[in-house]
Amino acid sequence: MNEMKKTAITLNVNNETYDIVAYPNRTLLEVIRDDLHLTGTKESCGQGVCGSCTVLVDGTPVRSCLTLAVAVQGKEITTIEGISLGEKLHPVQEAFVNHHAIQCGFCSPGMILTSYALLKENPRPTEAAIRRAISGNICRCTGYAKIVEAVKSLAEEEK
């Protein structure tokens, strides 16, 4: 078994600074859930396929299951808990609720963050662009039609 030493890790998550001491083999996903207790971010495949662990690093959606926590120090990390304004849902979250784009909810944090990042980059995405953006987020129950409708409604509202 290889040697490993714990190291001090400082993370900026949802505009708050967290200082933890952890082994370097901890993924960002593990730290967010187990150390910071922000359990909105989900683990599913653990291989970067399903997208349920998606978080934003400097505004870009990444797989937190394939990201080392120690490697994203100094970056701005946003989880699903970070986009709402207290009790008030973010418009993307509201759109998902209003369009019944949530069933079991397991893919929702990843879907919403991916859509949030898409709309920041391109406020009026076409349906093809929406489908492309969320193509790395797998939903096993709602289906994609409602999710695409929810994101589309925001694109249209911006007009």
Partner 1 sequence: MRLPPFQYLEPATVEEALSIIGTHKETVKIMAGGTDLLNRMKLRLIEPAFVMNISKLRNMDGIDIGDTETVIGANTRLKEIAGAPLVNKRFRAIAEAAFQVASPTITNMATIGGNILQNTRCMYYDQSGIVLNGLERCHKRGGILCLAVKGSKRCFSVYQGDMAPALRAFDARCVLEKKGSTRTVSITELFTGNGVTPFAIGADELLTKIIIPKPEGICGSAYRKLRLRGSVDYPLASAAAFVSVTDDRKVTTCRVVIGAAGAAPKVIDGASCEADLEGIAQKAYEHAEGVDNLLMPGAYRRKMVSVLAKRAIKAAIDGIKEGM
Whole-number Å distance between alpha carbons of 65 and 95: 27
Q: Using alpha carbons only, what angle is made at residue 157 by residues 156 and 159, rounded to the nearest 5 degrees? A: 70
| 47 contributes a contact to partner 1 by CB under 8 A | yes
User: What is the residue type of 67?
Assistant: T
The reply on whether position 128 binds partner 1 by CB under 8 A is no
Q: Is 93 in the site for partner 1 (CB under 8 A)?
A: no
The residues near 145 (Cβ < 8 Å, ≥ 6 apart) are none
Q: Judge whether 151 and 122 are in contact, CB under 8 Å.
A: no
Q: Which is nearer to partner 1, 59 or 123 (CB)?
A: 59
Residue in 8, 10, 16, 24 binding partner 1, rule: CB under 8 A: 24
> With CB under 8 A as the contact rule, which of the stretches 40-48, 82-90, 94-102, 148-156 interacts with partner 1?
40-48
Residues 139, 148 contacting (CB under 8 angstroms): no
Binding residues for partner 1 (CB under 8 A): 1-5, 7, 23-27, 30, 46-49, 51, 54, 60-63, 66-68, 70-71, 114, 132-133, 135-137
